[in-house]
Structures are given as structure tokens and as C-alpha cells.
Structure 1
């Protein structure tokens, strides 16, 4: 299968930090050929970078616009444009990230240092249903287990997209599928623990409140109002609510504070918070407000760069795992 090309300066998008930095849990990196395989918009993708292009393949899709057989070049070009548009939305490529990096670097010396390696960290624009239930799975969990839980949700309740190289790929389930009464006991058997109840109860509430229309209403609200509405869901606390606001509701000032973010804040910005055993509600608000005052209305995105720079798995990466895309040799 040939690769399609989407013009994208490599300084504007870094796949490694963006796709494996804890935003989404459905991407797998093949280090041998530096390709990424993942799922969003009911579509299975392969991605890689080469010079100033984002290369992509569509392995399979459930989108109605792509179910018909492409018979001529014009239809193929139309389909490619649809997929390019999805990629542009997903990676928020309409944002001139270099400009924002310059602004954030002027305000913060730590950011200026971090962005030398962690350029092109994008805030993904995710689908709210997948984002919300993925982060319910993230509570008191680590990334490999979160990824496993998310895939179980998809294989149990999502529609099959395609089979490829011996792997069956599924779309993320609709919220109505997760609201069924039998979901909780089944997920408990699959090892979800208390999260099983959170998933089924929250799904039921969302359906009762209007499903996708309810999510759209949250996008139109002010950030703090949207956060409060999300926290009415069963098992959704401040951190998960902020993750959803930031990653799928376009409230880019939202800043999820966990113990990791607390350590960054206490060690580098708010020394009076050092040595605390727990992040209190007051501390949570103080940390978020500090970074919003520092970075402005995209504080959540800016802080994600610091978060990636502080992750041990990136600090240990050697030249073979460099974030710099490999240049294609000229023949």
C-alpha cells in the first residue's frame, strides 16, 4: 500500500511525544520502521514522518463516505481530502505551534529549555466519548493497563473496522452501548474493578442528558462551568474532568493536576507546596491558576510539553529513539 502525503513541518508535529505522552491509548509504535498504528474517527491509520511530510495510510474505515468502492481518480482525491481533514482536526494543525512556543518560551525559562527537544507536541482533539471513558480507566492505573482496558471496551462493545496483519481492529463503542445494565458485571469479570461501575453509571447519565448533544453543550460553556457539569458524572473527579475539557472539549486552559504535575509545580514554580503528602482541592486550584496566569488561555497545552519533558521514558531515550524524524536519503 502506498503512502499519502500531508505537508507538515516536522517542527510543528512530533509524533513520539504527542502519541505516547498519555493523551490517547490506542497508538502502537513500531520502532523498527518508526511507524505508528492507531485508531480514531472509526478509522485505522498508519502514520510516519519524512522530512516535512506526515505520511499516512488508511487501513480500514467505517465512515459512510468511504464505504463505497473508489472507481476513479476523482473519487480517490475526494476520499484523501476527507482523511487529510480528519488528520488536520485530530492534530489541530490549524494552530501555528511555533508561534505559541515562542510566546511560552518568553514567559518561562523552563519551557524554553524543554521545548528544544520536545518541539511539536500537539494537543490532540479527541472524540469526547472515547476520551471520557479512557480516562475513567486511567484512574490509579498505568499506561499499559489503561491501553489494555480501552481495547477490551472496544472489542466487547465496539464495531469491527477491519482485520489487518492478523489483528482485528474495533471502533470505540457508542455511549449507548456502555449504558446497558449488563455492562458493569461483565467489565468486572474482565478486570475493570470499581471502574466498571463508573463506566456503566456515567454512560447511563450521559444518555439521559442527551448524549452527543450534551457534549456539544459543554463545548459552548465556559471552561469552569463545563468542568462542574462533568463532575456530576459518576466517578468523575477534578483531574479526569480537566482531561476531558482539555483533550476533547476545546477548553485548552484546563490543566489536569495529578501527583506528577504537582511535583513539577512544587519543584520549579511553587516551592511553598513542597513536601505535601496529598494534593488538596486548594492546592489543585492554586497550581492550575498559576499556570493559567503564566501561559494564558492555552495553559493546558503548554503544560503538556513540560509533562512530556519530565516523563522518564523520554529522558531515557537514546539516539535510536530520537524525536527528530529521519531524513530520507537522496538517491
Structure 2
């Protein structure tokens, strides 16, 4: 990959194994808007970015090389060799071949922990458009104004200190529903140090999950999402309804299987590559394999 700076834009060329739309739309983040085909506005780490992909080139508009190096390079995981990761996964398990090849451009984003935690608490029993709307509303009401793109204003996700005085009633006004007390508890535990990002990062995956599930309403799935997307623990393997279905189809002969058994199987099968396998399987299972089956059922 080559990097250059052109009239205020960071330009990446010869980009391999990356698809901007797949990466943003695969269900791992919620704080972005699609502007055009392969063009998005992304809010992260108190920054607003307009980004576009043109074949094997990626343009980060109106940003500095310093911001690219300090924020966006890691956020989009451009420094990691995904070709090697996919090759290693397929060498271990060729059952993944169709999923990996279909969703070959997915990168795992390295997101801000607190935003990831609150976002995935919100995600419980919610569709992605609804999650995105709640994240947007929380940001507008309690976060800082980041600026404007194409006539639309964007706001940073609120910090822990900005959320400290937010009440359950305030959160329910933002359509969080039954998740409001869970969010309040997560904010309180983060603010008083019971939940420490440094301690979570230092812990192994099993211990980290135990620490995160001390937060009200945080179970194994939300904890594993936080570990994978907000704490850079690439062996985490979140099991939700979509992963459960695709794993049952591919590895358990279509039989109903407990989520705990699926998680244990994934840990043994994929090891340190569990998070990558999960993302390829999740996006593929939801958009291609199971989606196609549902279409057949509707037609019948």
C-alpha cells in the first residue's frame, strides 16, 4: 500500500483485501452515514471523516497525515496483513472458503472502547438502522459538534463525563427502552473505575469477559463484541442469532446447538483468528447464505 498527501487529502493506493462498504456495513459499528456508493461520513475518536474508495484506492478527505497515522490507520486496521490472515484461516478450515471469498474486504475496526460498550448494549434486540439512530440521537443530545458534510451535521459520541449526569429518563427519551438502566450502570462503573479499559486490555479474553459481564445487561455476546471491536482481542467470538444459524448450518449438520457449545467449538477451531472468522461468517451468513434461504421460504 502506498500513501500520499494531496491538497489536504490522504490518498492510499494499491490497497489490498479491503472493502469500505463491507467493513462499515457488516454490523460492527453504528456511527456513520452512507453518502454515495463506496463513500461515507464516519465519526470516531472525536473526529469526523469523509472517506471514499475507488477500486484499490482510498481517499480520506480533509484530514492530516498526523490524524491518519494517529487515528485512521489503526481505526481501519490498514496496518494488518489480511491476505495472510485469510490464508491462515483457510489453511486451518476450508469450510470458511465461500464466506471468506464472498466477504473478502472486511476489516475489523479498532473502535473507542466506551462507545463500543454503549453501542452494543443498545444493540440487544435491535436492528442495525435502529441502533444507528439511537447512537446518532445520543451523540446529538450529549456529544460535541464535529462539523458538517453535505449539509448534514455530525456529533461525537458522548464521553464518559458527558454521560455521567444522564438519567434513565433521558435515555428512554432517546428510545433506548429497557436498556436505559444498563447504560446508566455501564457509565457509572466506567466513571468510578470499576471498569477500566487498561485493565480490560491487560486481561486475557476469558477474564476480560468476566469483568465486562459485571455490568448490568452485559452478557457473553455483548462482552465479546466489546472485546473484538473495542479492545483489540481478535480471538473473541461473539455468538448472536445470525452466527448461531450459520454455525449450525456449516458445522453442526443444521441441528439446534447451544450458543455456549458454538463458542467453545469456535475457540478450539479458530483460536487466535476467531474474531476474523466471526466477521466473515456473520456478514456472509446474514446477507448471503441465510438470506437466500429465507427468500426461498418466502417464495414457497
In the aligned structure 2, how far is the partner of 1:23 from the partner of 1:184? 25
Query: Per the alignment, in what secondary structure is the counterpart of residue 62 of structure 2?
Result: strand
Query: Which of residues 279, 282, 298 in structure 2 aligns to 1:307?
Result: 282
Q: Which residue of 1 aligns with 2:270?
A: 295
Q: Which residue of 2 aligns with 1:34?
A: 38
Question: Cα offset for 1:313?
Answer: 7.3
Question: Cα offset for 1:2?
Answer: 5.4
Q: Which residue of 1 aligns with 2:167?
A: 183
**Do structure 1's residue 123 and structure 2's residue 108 form an aligned pair?**
yes
1:55-204 alignment runs, 5 A limit: 55-58=59-62, 79-180=64-165, 182-204=166-188
Question: Cα offset for 1:314?
Answer: 9.6
Task: State the structure with more CA Rg.
Answer: 1
> Residue 172 and residue 313 in structure 1: after superposition, are their counterparts in 2 closer, same or farther (change >3 A)?
farther
In the aligned structure 1, how far is the partner of 2:191 from the partner of 2:140? 21
Larger displacement relative to structure 2 (106-115 or 219-228): 106-115
CA contact (8 A) 1:91 1:122 kept: yes
Count of equivalent residues: 287
Q: Which residue of 1 aligns with 2:297?
A: none
In the aligned structure 2, how far is the partner of 1:53 from the partner of 1:118? 18
Question: Cα offset for 1:120?
Answer: 2.4
Q: Which residue of 1 aligns with 2:204?
A: 222
Question: Cα offset for 1:147?
Answer: 0.4
Q: Which residue of 2 aligns with 1:275?
A: 256
**Do structure 1's residue 53 and structure 2's residue 60 form an aligned pair?**
no
> Residue 313 and residue 2 in structure 1: after superposition, are their counterparts in 2 closer, same or farther (change >3 A)?
farther
In the aligned structure 1, how far is the partner of 2:219 from the partner of 2:92? 30
**Do structure 1's residue 21 and structure 2's residue 29 form an aligned pair?**
no
Query: Per the alignment, in what secondary structure is the counterpart of residue 177 of structure 2?
Result: coil
In the aligned structure 2, how far is the partner of 1:175 from the partner of 1:25? 18
Question: Cα offset for 1:3?
Answer: 6.5
CA contact (8 A) 1:44 1:58 kept: no
CA contact (8 A) 1:10 1:120 kept: no
CA contact (8 A) 1:104 1:295 kept: yes
Q: Which residue of 2 aligns with 1:65?
A: none
Q: Which residue of 2 aligns with 1:323?
A: none
Residue ranges of structure 1 left out of the alignment (5+ in a row):
60-78, 277-282, 318-331
In the aligned structure 2, how far is the partner of 1:311 from the partner of 1:58? 34
Q: Which residue of 1 aligns with 2:3?
A: none
Larger displacement relative to structure 2 (102-111 or 149-158): 102-111
**Do structure 1's residue 206 and structure 2's residue 187 form an aligned pair?**
no
> Residue 157 and residue 232 in structure 1: after superposition, are their counterparts in 2 closer, same or farther (change >3 A)?
same
CA contact (8 A) 2:28 2:229 kept: yes
Query: Per the alignment, in what secondary structure is the counterpart of residue 161 of structure 1?
Result: strand
Question: Cα offset for 1:108?
Answer: 2.1
In the aligned structure 2, how far is the partner of 1:131 from the partner of 1:58? 25
Question: Cα offset for 1:93?
Answer: 1.9
Query: Per the alignment, in what secondary structure is the counterpart of residue 262 of structure 1?
Result: helix
Residues 201-233 of structure 1: per-residue CA shift (max 9 Å, x gap) = 21011111266xx11110011111011000001
CA contact (8 A) 2:10 2:65 kept: no
- CA-based RMSD of the aligned residues comes to 2.3
Q: Which residue of 2 aligns with 1:74?
A: none
TM-score by structure 2 length? Answer: 0.88
